[in-house]
Structure 1
C-alpha cells in the first residue's frame, strides 16, 4: 500500500543516502586531511608528501593493500557521516519549522516546506543550523573519536585500532567513557561552520536562484538547477570552512592518540601548535580539506535536493 512520507522522514532518508554516497567517494581525501591536521604540532614542517608516503608505505607496494590503506576507517566514517547527515537534516527541518511558527507573522497552515523556508530570514537559518549542529555534534562525538584514531594510523602500527569494536574496547579500557567525548568543546565551536554554511546556502537558494519564482504551482519544478546547486554550495562551503577551520583542526588533534599520550588540554594544544608553526599551523591541511569538501558538498547537495523531491 502506497503512503506519503512526512517532510521530516524525507529529510532523514535524504541525509542517510547523501552521507553514504559522499563518504564512499571522498574517503581517501578525508584520511589525508586528518593526517595533515595531526601534523600541526610537529615542528619538522611535514606535509602532503609525508602523508601520502605513509599510505604507500603501509601498503607495502601492493596495489590492493594501498587501496585498503587509503580506505582505512571507511566503515566508521560511513556510519558516522550517514548518521550525522540524517540527524542534521532532520533536526534542521524541525528547527526551521519551529522558527517559522514562532517568528513569521501570519503563518499559514498547510504550506509546503519550500514556501515556508523562503519566508525565513538569514538569522533564522543561522539559528536553526547552530541548534541542529550542536545537537548532532553531541550525539555523534564518540563516533568521530574512534574514526580519528583509526584513520590517523596505518594498520601495521602497534598502537592502532584494528577495527571499530577493537577501538571502542581499548578506549573504554584505557580512558573510560570520558574518552569518548574528547574534542567536544572545539567541535561545538566548529558548529558555526554548519550554521554559516546553511545560512549562506539557504539565503542564496531562496533569494538568488530560480526557486525565487516558485509560487507553489503543481506543475512547476521545485528543484535547483545542477549549476545553481554547484555554485551555491561551493561558495557557501569555501566561506564557512575557512572561517572555522582552526576548530576542526583542534578537534582532530584532541581526539588523537597523541593528545592522550601528551595529556593535551584545549589551551595546551593551542600553545603547542602556535610554538611549532605559528598562526599558519591552525590552517594546516586547509587546502586538502577544501579539495575534499567542495566536491563532496556539491555531490551531497545535488543528491539531497533531487532525492528529497523524488521520495
Structure 2
C-alpha cells in the first residue's frame, strides 16, 4: 500500500478531530468560561462553572460554538496532524526505519503546530468568542449564528486583520502543545513497545501514550492558551500584546490564573 499523501493525512486528521470535538467540546466551553469569567464574578471550579452554564443556558450551553470547533478541526487540526504525520514518516524513511530522536519529534511537532495555528487562527478566534459570548453582559453579546457568520462579521465589522488577533500566543500555544502532544505520544508508543512489549498499533497503547502526552502538553500550553483567549475575546485596545495581557492577568488574578 503506497504511503498517504499530505492532503490525505490532513483529511484524516480533520475527520478524527471533528469526531473528537463532538465529545470534547463541552470541556472547551468550560475552559473558555473559566478563562473568561463574567465581570465581577468569583472564580469557580469546573463543576461550579458547568452548573452555572447549564442553569443559565440549559445543557445546550455546553455545546455553544460547536461549529467553530468543527471549523478549527478543518483548518488547524488538518494542518497540524497532516504535516506532523507526513514529516515524521518522511524522516523515518530517511533513517531506514530507525526511531527518530526525541528532540526531533518535538521539533517536528512544534513546526506542525505553528503552521496549523497560523492557518486556523480565525477559527480559534471564533471558538473563543462563541464559547464565551454568554458570559458577557447582554448588551455586549455578539450573538453570532455560527462560525462562518462569526468570521464574516469580524472581517466586515473589525477588519480582516482582526481574524489573526492573538496569533502570536496562538502560535506559541500550538508549538508547546503539539511538540509535547505529538512528540511525547510517538516516544511513549515506542517505549511501551520496546520496554513493555505492547503492540504500538493497539488501542490500549495509543490510549496510554496519548493520555500521558496530554498531561504534559496542557501543562506547557495553558499559559499561552489563557492569554490567547483573553486577547481574542477582548475589544481592541484592551491589551497591548501577549506580554501586556499576561502581566495584567497575573497582576489582577495572581500567577495561577495562567493555569
Instruction: Report the TM-score, using the length of structure 2 for normalisation.
Output: 0.85
2:61 pairs with 1:69:
yes
Separation (CA, whole Å) in 1 of partners of 2:63 and 2:203: 29
Q: Which has the higher helix share?
A: 2
Give RMSD over aligned pairs. 2.9
How far off its partner does 1:280 sit? 0.8
How far off its partner does 1:245 sit? 1.2
**Structure 1 segments of 4+ aligned residues over 4 angstroms from their partners:** 41-44, 210-214
Q: Number of residue pairs matched?
A: 253
Name 2:213's counterpart in structure 1: 236
Separation (CA, whole Å) in 1 of partners of 2:163 and 2:185: 32
Name 2:4's counterpart in structure 1: 7
Please show how residues 287-302 of structure 1 align to structure 2 within 5 Å: none
Q: Is the 8 A contact 1:31 1:152 kept in 2?
A: yes
Name 1:35's counterpart in structure 2: 33
Q: Which runs of 5+ in 2 are unaligned?
A: none
Q: Is the 8 A contact 1:35 1:51 kept in 2?
A: yes
- Which protein, 1 or 2, shows the higher relative CO under an 8 Å CA cutoff with sep ≥ 6? 1
Please show how residues 257-296 of structure 1 align to structure 2 within 5 Å: 258-260=234-236, 262-283=238-259
Q: Is the 8 A contact 1:87 1:136 kept in 2?
A: yes
Separation (CA, whole Å) in 1 of partners of 2:253 and 2:224: 16
Q: Is the 8 A contact 1:99 1:128 kept in 2?
A: no
Name 1:298's counterpart in structure 2: none
Q: Highest Rg: 1 or 2?
A: 1
Residues 233 and 165 of structure 1: CA distance in aligned 2, closer, same or farther (over 3 Å)? closer
2:208 pairs with 1:208:
no
How far off its partner does 1:53 sit? 4.8
**Per the alignment, in what secondary structure is the counterpart of residue 7 of structure 1?**
coil
Please show how residues 218-237 of structure 1 align to structure 2 within 5 Å: 224-237=201-214
2:157 pairs with 1:160:
no
Instruction: Report the TM-score, using the length of structure 1 for normalisation.
Output: 0.72
Name 2:53's counterpart in structure 1: 55
Q: Is the 8 A contact 2:239 2:245 kept in 1?
A: no
How far off its partner does 1:20 sit? 1.3
Deviation per CA, 1:140-199, whole angstroms, max 9, x where unpaired? 101111111111112993422322343223312332111111111111111122112222
Q: Which runs of 5+ in 1 are unaligned?
A: 60-65, 108-115, 215-221, 284-311
**Per the alignment, in what secondary structure is the counterpart of residue 224 of structure 1?**
coil
Q: Is the 8 A contact 1:201 1:233 kept in 2?
A: yes
